[in-house]
Structure 1
Amino acid sequence: MKNEQNLEQRLIEICERFKLKEKALNSLEEIITDGLRRDEYFLNGYTRSEVHTVFEEYRFTILKKYLEATIDTRIGLYIDNDMYVDNSEPIGYYTLEVDFNGKIVDDVFVLEKEKYNK
């Protein structure tokens, strides 16, 4: 158990040293701002004020078949909905992938739901 706690703490320290949460949130905000500037329906009909972002996790991905190992930072995109846990309905996510030196390798922006106006 102690080894697991030590490893987890060391991995968290790596993420904090590279400021991955902040990088991911800033990158996501740029994507949303640029997208809405080009297309008012960029968020699938949701307004920026309806969508809130939540840090979800760090994921360390090693032994990839074709790519180098990465540290993935995932930010969830949510809207208010009292039918869901914490009154937040997931509508998408953003993942920032960096190498083990903190250099950005790739990112992924996904919207899984569309707003339906009644």
Structure 2
Amino acid sequence: MKFIIRLLLIAIFSYLLSLVMPWWILILVAGILSFILPGGNFNAILSGLLGGGLLWMVMAWKVDVETNSIMSTKIIQLFPIDDVNMIIIATGVLGGIAGALGAFTGNSFRQIFIKKKEKSFYS
């Protein structure tokens, strides 16, 4: 349940803040939310990956539809890619990597402050 909540909060806050802030706000949002909402490393990384990746993919698709693929066809001329959908997927992958790194950093920073239990000689 925390995974889904963290994923949705990363996507929602990143979208809202990206309207007035630069692209790297996704990294900060994923890091702060992973610091606030506890979870395992894999759980945090996956929520940041999916939250950021899906958000950026949807936003790239939205821009592509609104501009009738004008911007995408100009980007295709710069890179050796033949399909507009590959540009959208690549954008999602980059957003996912950014979100995953931010979430991992926030979760790791939280683990610095958690006191670990010492192992007993008898356990």
Q: What TM-score do the two structures reach when normalised by structure 2?
A: 0.31
Higher helix fraction (1 or 2): 2
Q: What TM-score do the two structures reach when normalised by structure 1?
A: 0.32
Tell me which of the two structures has the higher relative contact order, counting C-alpha pairs closer than 8 angstroms and 6 or more residues apart.
2
**Larger radius of gyration between Structure 1 and Structure 2:** 2
Higher strand fraction (1 or 2): 1
